[in-house]
Amino acid sequence: MKVSSIKPIALVLSRELMITVLLLLGVSLVVFTILYLSPGDPFSVLLEGQMSSEEARAGVREALGVPKAWYAQYLSWLLNMLRGDFGTSIRTGLPVLKELLRVGLNTLVLTIGSLLVTLALAVPIALYSAVRGTNKVSWPLTMFAYVVSALPVFWFGYIVIYVFMHKFGLFPLAFGASSSGKYGWLYAALPIFVLGFGNGTMSEVIRFLRDEMSRVMDEDYIRTARAKGASIWKHSFKEGFLIPVTEIIASKIPFILGGAVIVEQVFNWPGMGRMAWQAAQDRDFPVIMGIAILAAAFVRLGSLFQSIVYVAVNPRASKE
Amino acid sequence: MKTYSQISGEIGELSNLPFWKKAEAVDLAYVGYGLLIVTLVVVSYVLGAFNLLPHDPQAINLELMMAAPGTKGYPLGTDFMGRDMLSRLIVGIQAYFLPGLLAIAIALILGIVLGVLAGYRGGRFDTAITYFTNLVDSFPRLVLILLVIAAFKPDIYYIMIVVGLTNVPVVASHIKGKIHFLTQKNFVEAATALGLPTRTIILKHILWHNCRSVLIIQATLGMGEAILMETSLSYLGFGVQEPTPSWGNMVQAGANYLMQGKFWPSTAPALAILFTILGFHLLGDGLNNILEGKRGK
Amino acid sequence: MKRVLLVALLLVGVTFVLSPFAEAGSKKDGRPDGGTLNYGEYGRPATLDPITSNEMISLRITELVFNGLVGINEKQEIVPELAERWEMSKDGRTYTFFLRKDVTWHAREGEEAKPFTADDVIFTYKIMMHPKTITPLKVRYEFIDTVEKLDDYTVRFTLKRPILNALAKFSFKIIPRHGPANPLYLTREDPFVQNPIGTGPYILKNITADREIVLTANDNYFKGRPHIDKFVAKPFADQNIMTQALMFNAIDMIVLVNPRDIPEIQGDKRFVLQPYNALSYSFFGYNMRNPLLADKRVRQAFTYAVNRQEMLDSFFNGQGTIISGPFAPGSWAYNLEVQPYPFDPEKAKSLLRDAGFTPGPDGIMQKGGKKLSFTLKVPIEKESEAVKRVVLAFKNYLKNIGVDVNVAFEEWQAWKEDVFLEHDFDIVFASWVFDDSADISSLFHSAEIGPWKNNFIGYSNPEVDSLIVESKLTLDHEKRRTINRKLHAILADENPYTFLWTLTNYAAYNKKVRHVAIHPYKFFSFADEWFMAEKDQN
């Protein structure tokens, strides 16, 4: 990277950070509003399994010192969060941030891993189709990818587990990773592959990359380069490959995070998706808010990455 | 300054041949397959409406639960309540069709409106809309849907509204990008100079001539996403609720027996999902290629 | 997590047995020590202490880690545990417990094991009753007036009034005074709730990254060291996968098998399916606020229309008992003379005719323009095939007698608000789980009608009210039994619920685990006696 491109990147970075803060604020407000509107009481999880009365319910809030008005609740949450205190889970009493970082890391591995799997399959197919058009090689591959992206992911997961159990004598659950030495990696790899194949984005990624690449191939400067016999790859790399790939990564993260909720349950993967699922049912609002913030931050990280790449390739863009 | 038609020519808007004559056989086949799927959907409605199904899809038969495919009178067997799989499969698509269209309509209409506003008017509109789209993009979809279901009720229409909303940013940013691109090439200016009303410029020249492929692809992808989203939610118990059949809740119910070696009850609806989504994807691909004249280079 | 509605307790056991004490150390019963037992749980426990926890998963863990003053043996008799003996005053108002002197708390790392004393008992009672402690136990111990320490190993409880079977209530788990960080009240934010120490046969060692809970044998357990070295609770998020984990030997035990998977496990010689009776039953409850359902004949017609035996056979492999009234059939209060309504659709139709209903043009029975058309509200559970089956079959049975039922599945919290707070439903499907036996006062007494109270159907009957009160005030067991049997007969006739069945629960485990006895509610009460043969211990 040239020195001249550092400054625009810093510019973009600071701007993006500002936007991110505003966005996280918006996310937290929206999630809080939905939670506030939904039936059920976050504290009722504490009263489950006992004869609860109106007084008992009021007593819980009193005992825990929960503010009554919704804006007071939101503000106190916000102020605490700004100090780095995400609160504690109502259900387990554990500090939200610590728990989230622990399971968030697992989800990060699952998400990034499956994104890589998707790209590893989609990029070559898209590249090949863009350069060579539809032929005997690219057509079946594309069809295969389309079929894969139309699979219901949990069903696909069940099938994979069934096949591994009955054909290979392996039981591929995430928790096995710690206990079985030789095939340990496999236990972790399978859910990643299942989500990578079955997250439903493969066809979209291929189509997007293929179209972007073909478009770039048609640009005048590439045609000129081609006519001169220069490597098209070198010329089209930035615009036809780097930018679209980062763009699609950034835009697919929220989607794959959703798929993780399912895969984590099927494969017993200790991640954020499972936690989100439980917390949504319990209305465990510090946990849900924490997850929303963390997930949104993760998504923003993707788009930050995209902006940086874009600017690094095309420094003028920072001035826009 | 270039003339309108020059610019139009540059950005590939003008063509004299009807598009189907330029089309390649494979694209026509894609579109044909896609249309076949759409036809099947319509047929399913007709069959359901006139009660032409082999069995009542909700008729329970406790004597004949989990019957194997090929059982007399039940070519695809029965489910965990002894209901006919074939009838449920035929009716199951109805769970998606209208809600899916709703999701697509929301994504396209809102996306177009916001995209045009942001691209055409720019300034504060652009900032506000960019913020909104980024905000929507920042939510993990399934988690957002879970929250909405919790807040309201597990209804396919609520789910589809969220799916539609989460697809708004893609459409909006494409449209905005296109308008910026056209503005840079002085297209809009030229068109205005020609005395074309703004509405015509936006509707005909920007949306139809320049954005149709994006819109078509978004529409066809939206249907696939709607189906897969409902299926995932069915696994969590929040998809279309019994006794209404949907392919998602059929896969889920059947998958409970998958580990016992009974593949059929989940595979049949899973294949239906697969072929349908494939149909919509190919329809999008085919239409896109034909309209844009992409092949044969 | 299995969602259940819980009713507070009354007790079963009436006989007291004094058993000889074992010395701390090895059990010396000739059975081998060693091995690890991995058991699968559906869901993860929120907390692990006996006070704040309110889930079955936690309850099972606390059974391994803690002890009560008294315990209950396999024959449902009350036996000494932390108290070696006790005395009851003649008026039944004071209970004096003489504590064992050889009990120590699990040692925290780097600390000496502290002895168990009367202070811990008093501490536990006080922390439990503190207004800021949120615990399901509080309402169950409001009958205690005071507690005092007579000496280090003697405590005396004074009751507000004598109650029947009070002794069994002293089975609540004792926690150490040096356990919780806050000595006044216990919240879920206290580190103790995640990392508790007790006196029980197993010591909570650690919780892994996936919240697998690892428990190791307590060498100093006062009843003798438990045989199995290690218990590991593995959380699953998918019941199908959990069953496969058992089939694949990834776990050794499932505490509650999904009825759907029973045939598969039954056919496999490697496993044992062990039934245990749960004190619970399922029912369809009718909202008395709906004038159509307030008519007894309509409710009775519904029960006649439903083929309970067919459902039980088709959906639960016949593993359960059809019930006729409001008590769990395992309980002493259950009246065996009252027969369940037979399946008789013709009788159902004639009852509806008697009530003045005639078939309308659409085939639905109606009277004066009012159709027998109802909304049945059901909570969604992720793995609820059995629930779906029952409610869909119910809809179908009622359709056959010209009654229209619209099944509405609702998210759990929304369902609870609709049923318990808004009372916005016609029919509900649910189950009651009794942690001991027979207190139904909160279900049918008219004083229990109101927001968040258990009589959500709004049933009000002065005769039932007075019988419930009478039963509570009676101290004589036989008299009380007679009252409850009468109550049973009345409620069976009144039919505010269609009482369905008590299901037989099944635990499944690998044959290598031997001498398994299961407590119907707390499950692991006798786990210290379980063992594995040496060849199976790897």
User: Is the pLDDT confidence value at C18 over 50?
Assistant: no
Q: Is B149 an interface residue toward C (CB < 8 Å)?
A: yes
Name the phi and psi angles at A153, rounded to 5: -65, -35
* Residue A199, pLDDT score: 80
Nearest chain B residue to C385, by CA: B253
The mean predicted confidence, pLDDT, of chain C is 88
**Rg, Å, chain A Cα set:** 24
Q: Is B209 exposed, middle or buried (0-12, 13-18, 19+ CB in 10 A)?
A: middle
Which runs of consecutive H residues, i.e. helices, occur in C66-217?
118-129
* Residue A183, pLDDT score: 59
Q: What is the mean pLDDT of residues B220-237?
A: 88
Nearest by Cα to C459 from C418, C490, C417, C416:
C490
Residue C81, number of CB atoms within 10 A of its CB: 24
- Beta-carbon contacts of residue C277 (< 8 Å; ≥ 6 apart): C330, C502, C504, C505, C520
- The DSSP bridge pattern shows strands C427-434 and C5-7 to be parallel
Confidence of residue A177 (pLDDT cuts 50, 70, 90): very low
Name the phi and psi angles at C167, rounded to 5: -55, -45
Q: What is the mean pLDDT of residues A260-276?
A: 87
- Beta-carbon contacts of residue B183 (< 8 Å; ≥ 6 apart): B119, B189
- Beta-carbon contacts of residue C500 (< 8 Å; ≥ 6 apart): C281, C282, C283, C284, C308, C311, C322, C323, C390
Selected residue of B141, B147, B260 to mutate for chain A interface (largest A Cβ count, 10 A): B147
- pLDDT 10s digits, B28-70: 888 899 899 889 888 988 888 888 888 888 888 888 888 888 8
- pLDDT 10s digits, A210-246: 888 887 777 777 777 777 776 666 667 777 778 888 8
Nearest-CB residue to C409 (from B80, B241, B258): B241
* Residue C400, pLDDT score: 93
- pLDDT 10s digits, B59-116: 888 888 888 888 888 889 999 999 999 999 999 888 888 899 999 999 999 999 998 8
In angstroms, the CA A37 to CA C18 distance is 56
Q: What is the mean pLDDT of residues A102-117?
A: 89
Q: Is B242 an interface residue toward C (CB < 8 Å)?
A: yes
End-to-end CA distance of chain B: 31
User: Is the pLDDT confidence value at C160 over 60?
Assistant: yes
- pLDDT 10s digits, C286-318: 999 999 999 999 999 999 999 999 999 999 988
For B244-274, letters b (16+ CB in 10 Å) and e give bbbbbbbbbbbbbbbbbebbbbbbbbbebbb
Better-scored residue on pLDDT, B186 or A73 = A73
Question: B100 and B223 in contact (C-beta within 8 Å)?
Answer: yes
End-to-end CA distance of chain A: 21
User: Is the pLDDT confidence value at A5 over 70?
Assistant: no
Nearest chain A residue to C243, by CA: A171
Q: What is the mean pLDDT of residues C56-62?
A: 91
* Residue C522, pLDDT score: 85
Nearest chain C residue to A177, by CA: C210
In angstroms, the CA B155 to CA B241 distance is 8
- pLDDT 10s digits, C98-116: 999 999 999 988 888 999 9
User: Is the pLDDT confidence value at C407 over 60?
Assistant: yes
Q: Which of residues 190-249 of C touch A (CB under 8 A)?
A: 190, 193-194, 208-212, 234-238, 240-241, 244-245, 248
User: Is the pLDDT confidence value at C531 over 90?
Assistant: yes
Selected residue of A108, A110, A173 to mutate for chain C interface (largest C Cβ count, 10 A): A173
Nearest-CB residue to B281 (from A34, A159, A203): A203
Long-range contact set of residues A211-216: C-beta below 8 Å, sequence gap at least 24 = A212/A240, A212/A243, A212/A244, A213/A126, A213/A127, A213/A130, A213/A131, A213/A240, A213/A241, A213/A244, A214/A130, A214/B294, A215/A240, A216/A240
- Beta-carbon contacts of residue C534 (< 8 Å; ≥ 6 apart): C32, C34
User: Is the pLDDT confidence value at C22 over 60?
Assistant: no
Nearest-CB residue to B65 (from C314, C383, C410): C314
In angstroms, the CA C283 to CA C55 distance is 22
Hey, what are B74's tokens?
């039940």
Better-scored residue on pLDDT, B102 or A167 = B102
Nearest chain A residue to B145, by CA: A258
The residue with tokens 């609720």 is B241
Distances (CA, A) of C477 to C71, C89, C473, C483: 21, 18, 11, 10
Nearest chain B residue to C242, by CA: B259
Confidence of residue A316 (pLDDT cuts 50, 70, 90): low
Q: What is the mean pLDDT of residues C126-140?
A: 87
* Residue C7, pLDDT score: 43
In angstroms, the CA B90 to CA A283 distance is 37
Residues of C in contact with B155 (CB under 8 A): none
Question: C82 and C68 in contact (C-beta within 8 Å)?
Answer: yes
Whole-complex ipTM: 0.85
* Cβ distance of B150 and C414 shorter than 8 Å: yes
Query: Strands, E, within B216-277: which ranges?
Result: none
- Beta-carbon contacts of residue B123 (< 8 Å; ≥ 6 apart): none
Which range is least confidently modeled, B185-194, C397-406, C417-426? B185-194
Selected residue of B55, B58, B60 to mutate for chain C interface (largest C Cβ count, 10 A): B60
Question: A239 and A313 in contact (C-beta within 8 Å)?
Answer: yes
Residues of A in contact with C212 (CB under 8 A): 175
Neighbours of chain C (3+ CB pairs under 8 A): A, B
The mean predicted confidence, pLDDT, of chain A is 81
- The DSSP bridge pattern shows strands C370-371 and C202-207 to be unpaired
Better-scored residue on pLDDT, C386 or B10 = C386
- pLDDT 10s digits, C437-477: 567 888 899 998 988 888 999 999 999 999 999 988 888 88
SS (H, E, C) chain A: CCHHHHHHHHHHHHHHHHHHHHHHHHHHHHHHHHHHHCCCCCCHHHHCCCCCCHHHHHHHHHHHCCCCCHHHHHHHHHHHHHCCCCCECCCCCCEHHHHHHHHHHHHHHHHHHHHHHHHHHHHHHHHHHHHHCCCCCHHHHHHHHHHHCCCCHHHHHHHHHHHHHHHHCCCCCCCHHHHCCCCHHHHHHHHHHHHHHHCCCHHHHHHHHHHHHHHHHHCHHHHHHHHHCCCHHHHHHHHHHHHHHHHHHHHHHHHHHHHHHHHHHHCCCCCHHHHHHHHHHHCCHHHHHHHHHHHHHHHHHHHHHHHHHHHHHCHHHHHC
User: Is the pLDDT confidence value at C382 over 80?
Assistant: no
Identify residues of C whose CB sits under 8 angstroms from chain B CBs.
240-241, 243-244, 260-261, 264, 310-311, 314, 380-385, 388-389, 392-393, 395-396, 407-411, 413-414
Question: C70 and C284 in contact (C-beta within 8 Å)?
Answer: no
End-to-end CA distance of chain C: 30
Helix (H) or strand (E) holding B132: helix B123-137
* Cβ distance of B241 and C384 shorter than 8 Å: no
Q: What is the pTM of this model?
A: 0.89
Confidence of residue C131 (pLDDT cuts 50, 70, 90): confident
User: Is the pLDDT confidence value at C490 over 90?
Assistant: yes
* Cβ distance of C380 and B60 shorter than 8 Å: no
User: Is the pLDDT confidence value at C8 over 50?
Assistant: no
Confidence of residue A190 (pLDDT cuts 50, 70, 90): confident
* Residue A307, pLDDT score: 82
Nearest by Cα to C215 from C532, C524, C538:
C524
Nearest by Cα to A91 from A60, A62, A118:
A60
User: Is the pLDDT confidence value at C182 over 80?
Assistant: yes
Nearest-CB residue to C452 (from A49, A57, A267): A57
Nearest by Cα to C31 from C517, C436, C533:
C533
- pLDDT 10s digits, A28-76: 999 898 888 888 777 777 776 665 566 677 777 777 767 767 788 889 8
* Residue B1, pLDDT score: 44
Neighbours of chain A (3+ CB pairs under 8 A): B, C
Better-scored residue on pLDDT, C184 or B146 = C184
Distances (CA, A) of C469 to C10, C14, C333: 14, 21, 15
Confidence of residue C20 (pLDDT cuts 50, 70, 90): very low
Nearest chain A residue to C411, by CA: A281
How far C51 CA lies from chain A's nearest CA (Å)?
11
Neighbours of chain B (3+ CB pairs under 8 A): A, C
Nearest by Cα to C223 from C530, C529, C516:
C529
In angstroms, the CA A84 to CA A82 distance is 5
Selected residue of A32, A158, A195, A299 to mutate for chain B interface (largest B Cβ count, 10 A): A158
**Top-ranked range on mean pLDDT: pick from B56-70, C18-32, C66-80, C114-128:** C114-128
Name the phi and psi angles at C229, rounded to 5: -65, -40
What is the percent of chain A where pLDDT is above 70?
84
Which range is least confidently modeled, B58-67, C145-154, C339-348? B58-67
Q: Is B251 an interface residue toward A (CB < 8 Å)?
A: yes
Q: Is B150 an interface residue toward A (CB < 8 Å)?
A: yes
Residues of A in contact with C132 (CB under 8 A): 63
Q: What is the mean pLDDT of residues C79-90?
A: 92
Q: Is C132 an interface residue toward A (CB < 8 Å)?
A: yes
